């Protein structure tokens, strides 16, 4: 089974996509929704925090560099609000050090942007499985 069709017959993965690059968010959201992933978009760190107050998610994709708040600041808030949320950090060129800091603060993993869709889907499935094993019953 390829990562793109692993989740077709099950409940959708609830994913929070946080990035201030609107075109990137909109395109990626459409691609993920075609694979039975329920995507909620947030174009800023503050918007992500507002959304998390009213909805639950299995996985979050979080950009490290945004204009309003750093991804590290947002990660800290997300982990306080939803400790079992599996957060995948998205890093641009030269931010591996910040991604390592994110891992130390509880991020599930990180990927460099741009990354292949199949690789991203694999990581989302791994994060989803991790979340399901660790979420409170």
Which tokens is 120 given? 């991203």
CA 67 – CA 126 distance, rounded (Å): 29
Beta bridge partners, 63, equal: 90
What range defines the domain where residue 73 resides?
13-116
Of the candidates 100, 104, 107, 112, the residue with the CA atom closest to the CA atom of residue 85: 107
Residue 111 resides in a domain:
yes
Domain of 103: which CATH number? 3.40.50.2300
Q: Looking at residue 75, what is its pLDDT?
A: 95
Residue 73 resides in a domain:
yes
In the β-sheet with 59-63, what is the strand arrangement from edge to edge?
Answer: 37-42, 13-18, 59-63, 86-91, 109-112
8 A C-beta contact, residue 47 and residue 53: no
Q: Looking at residue 93, what is its pLDDT?
A: 63
Per-residue pLDDT of the chain (137 residues; tens, 9 = 90+): 344 444 444 789 999 999 999 999 999 999 999 999 999 999 999 999 999 999 999 999 999 988 889 899 999 999 999 999 999 999 876 577 777 888 899 999 999 888 899 999 999 999 999 999 987 76
Residue 100 resides in a domain:
yes
Residue 22 resides in a domain:
yes
Residue 52 resides in a domain:
yes
Number of domains comprising the chain: 1
Residue 37 resides in a domain:
yes
Residue 2 resides in a domain:
no
Q: Looking at residue 2, what is its pLDDT?
A: 42
Residue 8 resides in a domain:
no
Q: Looking at residue 1, what is its pLDDT?
A: 38
């Amino acid at each position: 089974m390829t990562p793109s069709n692993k989740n077709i017959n099950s409940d959708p993965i609830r994913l929070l996509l946080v990035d201030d690059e609107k075109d990137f968010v909109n395109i990626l959201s459409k691609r993920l929704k075609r694979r039975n992933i329920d995507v909620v978009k947030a174009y800023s760190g503050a918007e992500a925090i507002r959304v998390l107050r009213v909805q639950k998610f299995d996985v979050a994709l979080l950009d490290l560099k945004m204009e309003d708040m750093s991804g590290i600041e947002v990660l800290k808030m997300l982990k306080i609000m939803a400790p079992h949320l599996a957060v995948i950090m998205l890093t641009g060129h030269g931010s591996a050090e910040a991604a390592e800091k994110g891992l130390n603060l509880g991020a599930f993993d990180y990927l460099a942007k741009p990354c292949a869709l199949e690789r991203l889907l694999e990581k989302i499935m791994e994060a989803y499985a991790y979340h399901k094993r660790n979420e409170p019953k």
